[in-house]
Amino acid sequence: MHDDHSDDHDHNHDHDNHYSDMQARVKALETLLTEKGLIDPDAIDAIVETYETKVGPRNGAHVVAKAWSDPDFADWLRRDATAAISSLGYTGRQGEHMRAVFNTVDTHNLVVCTLCSCYPWSVLGLPPVWYKAPAYRSRAVIDPRGVLAEFGLTLPADKKIRVWDSTAELRYLVIPERPKGTECMDETALAGLVSRDAMIGTAVAGSPEALS
């Protein structure tokens, strides 16, 4: 975990910014099938986009909405996020060990994996391209406030930013602050205010007005 300017820590797994052998084989196979007209790259991109931004993040949005509306669940999430998330049926590879970090009036949380792209697939789906980019992985630690501004999120100067560095052993889920004016909304409606980026920390939850 880092504050605004903390040092990186070691991960216990290998890292490589280039294609792994398996990735290279998949890329070669995709190219071959495309050349033979057996697959449509645009269709594949659409499927990836769906899982990256819609299907997967809905799991995490459910977790956040339940935490907002159920104090007992929120407390459980703070104490043992892995068990609390599993109770909703969201388990699997890349999300076995979880920690939930809660945004507050005083503190905003941001998640990164500085040396790789460790990401909680079970609650957020596929990682976005920018999350895996070396520029984000380095600058999120060095200049988190500047990175957030580039995402369109300008925080008050007195709000602390805590940067959490994911590893192969532990993944993080940001619980954004509950927006004002949502007291009468149920969990389903609340989940509609929660984006993938808000659960990484590069955005905040949407307002009820934006949802309508």
* Spans of all domains in the chain: 21-211
pLDDT of residue 94: 52
Chain segment 148-177, per-residue pLDDT in tens:
999 999 999 999 999 999 998 899 999 999
Most confident range (mean pLDDT) of 11-15, 16-20, 113-117 is 113-117
Catalytic entry in 113, 122, 166, 195? 113
Angle of helix 56-69 versus helix 71-79 axis, rounded to 10: 120
pLDDT category, 212, cuts 50, 70, 90? low
Can you tell me the distance from the alpha carbon of 117 to that of 132, in angstroms, rounded to the nearest whole number? 5
Pair 203, 195: CB distance under 8 Å: yes
Residues of the chain by 3-state class (helix, strand, coil), percent to 5: 45, 10, 45
Q: Supply 168's token pair.
A: 């192969």
Chain segment 81-125, per-residue pLDDT in tens:
999 999 998 886 555 699 999 999 999 999 999 988 899 988 998
Question: Residue 5: pLDDT above 60?
Answer: no
- 117 tagged catalytic: yes
Chain segment 32-79, per-residue pLDDT in tens:
777 777 777 776 676 666 665 555 799 999 999 999 999 999 999 999
Can you tell me the distance from the alpha carbon of 54 to that of 50, in angstroms, rounded to the nearest whole number? 5
Neighbours of 47 (CB within 10 A): 11
Catalytic entry in 6, 20, 69, 117? 117
Residue 117 marked in a binding site? yes
- 184 tagged catalytic: no
Pair 205, 65: CB distance under 8 Å: no
pLDDT of residue 36: 73
Can you tell me the distance from the alpha carbon of 53 to that of 146, in angstroms, rounded to the nearest whole number? 24
Can you tell me the distance from the alpha carbon of 136 to that of 153, in angstroms, rounded to the nearest whole number? 15
Residue 184 marked in a binding site? no
Can you tell me the distance from the alpha carbon of 62 to that of 186, in angstroms, rounded to the nearest whole number? 11
pLDDT of residue 6: 45
Can you tell me the distance from the alpha carbon of 98 to that of 101, in angstroms, rounded to the nearest whole number? 10
Can you tell me the distance from the alpha carbon of 59 to that of 177, in angstroms, rounded to the nearest whole number? 18
Q: Residue 110: enclosing H or E segment and its boundaries?
A: strand 107-112
Q: How many whole angstroms from its chain centre is CA 92?
A: 16
Catalytic entry in 118, 122, 166, 195? 118
pLDDT of residue 11: 47
The reply to whether the predicted model has a pTM over 0.85 is no
Output the CATH code of domain 21-211: 3.90.330.10
Residue 116 marked in a binding site? yes
148 or 212: which leads in pLDDT = 148
pLDDT category, 8, cuts 50, 70, 90? very low
Can you tell me the distance from the alpha carbon of 85 to that of 123, in angstroms, rounded to the nearest whole number? 8
Closest C-alpha among 212, 181, 206 to residue 194: 206
Pair 173, 123: CB distance under 8 Å: yes
Can you tell me the distance from the alpha carbon of 34 to that of 17, in angstroms, rounded to the nearest whole number? 25
Q: Residue 172: enclosing H or E segment and its boundaries?
A: strand 171-175
